[in-house]
Structure 1
Amino acid sequence: MKSKKSIIESATSTLKLESDAILNLIQHINDDFVKVVQAILDSKGRVIVTGIGKSAIIAQKIVATFNSTGTPAIFMHAADAVHGDLGMIQKDDIVLCLSKSGNTPEIKLLAPLLKQSNNLLIGMLGQVDSDLAKQADLVLNTIVDKEACPHNLAPTTSTTAQLAMGDALAICLLEAREFNTADFARYHPGGSLGKRLYLKAGDLALKNERPSIKPDASVKDVIIEISKNRLGAVIVIADEKILGIITDGDIRRMLERYTEIENIKASDLMNINPKRIDKDELALYALEIIKANNITQLLVTSGDTYYGLIHMHDLLQEGII
């Protein structure tokens, strides 16, 4: 069994090799890379990304990243391409083919078939003198010195380089399209990521009651209202005007200071400068306010009108935290 030291050394060596390989790609961001970005931007079609083996897996990830950042893309397995899947390629599509060697049998068979259709063929490869490199119109060079595998066999460093080059390409396209957070939210409506980008403070507040009380209300009435709505706070209102907020923490601090509470009113307890957020602001911003001020509840308004309350648990429940 390997020792703790040897395990750490092995992992460190792997990460060093792969990080060096990524940094080495910088020298290969050249005119062909620029032409690839421009060709995809100008294209009326999609990017068909293909590969074999581990490169096929990286190709699928690149497709997912392209689609989520505004570049329409489809994955085509190189082995399936010659058995009918070539039919998915339309005349305006661009083909991006991933291969470390550029000389695998499937790629050598596929490349000339792709050229027959007159689609732009981009090779992402590690050998610039390979068969694929000769067939490709443009080349993205992802050459690596060696794999992290001690036998220099298992695709590790090479697939990391492909992945990084794909990300570089996707981000260049994203920025060129001026793809913003609103676009991102439209493509990612599900899960916590989508909620962070589109869920509004008002959406959360609408799920809760709107606890309120008059400024002359007794301590007992304040406690009942806070307990009834399970938000840990109540808003003090007079003539539809927000006067302040009382939290369960304010109640506890009041009980520590006073023994006689019969004459204490809501107006005596309230914080007259409650932290607030407009209903149309993102819930993510509500989280920032709550964290910055070390509070649990946040007042939600519509202009100067009381709209509702958000509790930190609402953000937790929605996966915003």
Structure 2
Amino acid sequence: MSDIQSILSTAKRTLEIESKAIGNLIGQLDEQFALAVQYILESKGRVVVSGVGKSAIVASKIVATLNSTGTPAIFMHAADAIHGDLGTIQENDIVICLSKSGNTPEIKALLPLIKIGKNKLIGITGNLDSVLAKQADFVLNTYVEKEACPNNLAPTTSTSAQMAMGDALAICLLELRGFTSSDFAKYHPGGALGKKLYLRVADIVVNNQKPQVDVNSNVKEVIVEISEKMLGVTAVIENGKVVGVVTDGDIRRMLSKYDNINGLTAKDIMTSSPKSVDVDTLAVTALELLQEKGISQLLAFDNGAYAGVVHIHNLINEGIL
């Protein structure tokens, strides 16, 4: 069996090497980066990102990040480009080429074809003396001292640096576009992430029953309402307005406090000033309030009118929690 400490030591060394390399990128940023961002921002075309080998995989990830943050992008494998896929690049498109050495044969073959099309070229490379760096309109320096691989061969640190540079590009563009969480939701409508960005309390309460009792309802009526509506709570209404709530917990406290519950009404056992949210509130915000207050339900209101109940189980079922 391998020595646990030896494994952890190797893992820590790898992360230290890569984190140092990414930290060094800060000092390698210059005006070229800012100019590249501005050009992409003002462009009427897409961003075509290309590379070979591990750089191609990183290029695909950068494309995904750009697309999800408001910058139209498409991936083009450099090898495929010189064998028929060059038509991927359209007028006004900006091309980003990734290559650690900047002298990869496929990249070298692709560069003059990009120039013929008069598309602007952004080079992401760790070699400023390379063909890519010399032919690019903008050069983003991703130089790393060494790979995390002990043989200094397997692309590890270099691809981490490329990935980080791509993220820096995407986030700069995101902020300059004023890209909001609402915009983000349009690109991520599915899954828990999407629901956190667009699901509102109104979308939940409409599917729940709407428990309510009169302020003078007796205890039995209160218990029956809570039980039938299955939300562990009921609103207490007086003159058409909510004046309190009775929860399962209130019922338990009542039974502990009173030996005789005959004659008790909702008003006697309710909690005044119940915690509530507006129906337009994001569901994730409602969840934060539930967690902050240590409660399971919130009353929902629509323009001041009682609209129903949102329960923490609703949020669990939606995958938000």
TM-score after normalising by structure 2: 0.98
CA distance in 2, matches of 1:7, 1:320: 36
> What amino acid sits opposite 1:214 in the alignment?
D
CA distance in 1, matches of 2:237, 2:84: 70
1:250 is the counterpart of 2:250: yes
Shift of 1:2: 3.0
CA distance in 1, matches of 2:300, 2:245: 12
In the alignment, what sits opposite 1:309? 309
CA distance in 2, matches of 1:135, 1:84: 22
Secondary structure of the structure 1 residue equivalent to 2:167: helix
In the alignment, what sits opposite 2:13? 13
1:42-86 deviations in Å (ceiling 9; x for gaps): 100000000101111110110011011111100011111112211
> What amino acid sits opposite 1:175 in the alignment?
E
In the alignment, what sits opposite 1:66? 66
Aligned pairs for 1:51-130 (under 5 A) are 51-130=51-130
Secondary structure of the structure 1 residue equivalent to 2:71: coil
> What amino acid sits opposite 1:281 in the alignment?
T
Aligned pairs for 1:125-164 (under 5 A) are 125-164=125-164
In the alignment, what sits opposite 2:271? 271
1:117-147 deviations in Å (ceiling 9; x for gaps): 1100111011111111122111111010000
In the alignment, what sits opposite 1:25? 25
In the alignment, what sits opposite 1:197? 197
CA distance in 2, matches of 1:123, 1:303: 54
> What amino acid sits opposite 1:181 in the alignment?
S
- Any unmatched runs of 5+ in structure 1? none
> What amino acid sits opposite 2:183 in the alignment?
D
Shift of 1:303: 2.2
TM-score after normalising by structure 1: 0.98
Secondary structure of the structure 2 residue equivalent to 1:280: coil
Shift of 1:246: 0.5
CA distance in 2, matches of 1:131, 1:98: 12
Secondary structure of the structure 2 residue equivalent to 1:224: helix
CA distance in 1, matches of 2:4, 2:304: 62
> What amino acid sits opposite 2:140 in the alignment?
L
CA distance in 1, matches of 2:118, 2:137: 10
In the alignment, what sits opposite 2:283? 283
Shift of 1:239: 2.8
> What amino acid sits opposite 1:243 in the alignment?
V
Q: Percent identity?
A: 59
Secondary structure of the structure 2 residue equivalent to 1:83: helix
1:212-259 deviations in Å (ceiling 9; x for gaps): 111111111111111111100001112321111110011011111112
CA RMSD of aligned residues (A): 0.9
CA distance in 2, matches of 1:24, 1:89: 32
> What amino acid sits opposite 2:268 in the alignment?
D
1:176 is the counterpart of 2:176: yes
Secondary structure of the structure 2 residue equivalent to 1:261: coil
> What amino acid sits opposite 1:207 in the alignment?
N
Equivalent pairs counted in the alignment come to 321
> What amino acid sits opposite 1:144 in the alignment?
V
Secondary structure of the structure 1 residue equivalent to 2:15: helix
1:286-319 deviations in Å (ceiling 9; x for gaps): 0111111110010000122100100001111112
Shift of 1:263: 1.0
In the alignment, what sits opposite 1:262? 262
1:78-132 deviations in Å (ceiling 9; x for gaps): 1111122110111100000001111111111111111111100111011111111
Secondary structure of the structure 1 residue equivalent to 2:308: strand
1:140-187 deviations in Å (ceiling 9; x for gaps): 110100000111111000000000000011111111111111111111
Secondary structure of the structure 1 residue equivalent to 2:124: strand
In the alignment, what sits opposite 2:45? 45
1:206 is the counterpart of 2:206: yes
CA distance in 2, matches of 1:57, 1:240: 62
CA distance in 2, matches of 1:239, 1:274: 17
Secondary structure of the structure 2 residue equivalent to 1:84: helix
> What amino acid sits opposite 1:309 in the alignment?
V
CA distance in 2, matches of 1:292, 1:31: 45
Secondary structure of the structure 1 residue equivalent to 2:244: strand
Secondary structure of the structure 1 residue equivalent to 2:75: strand
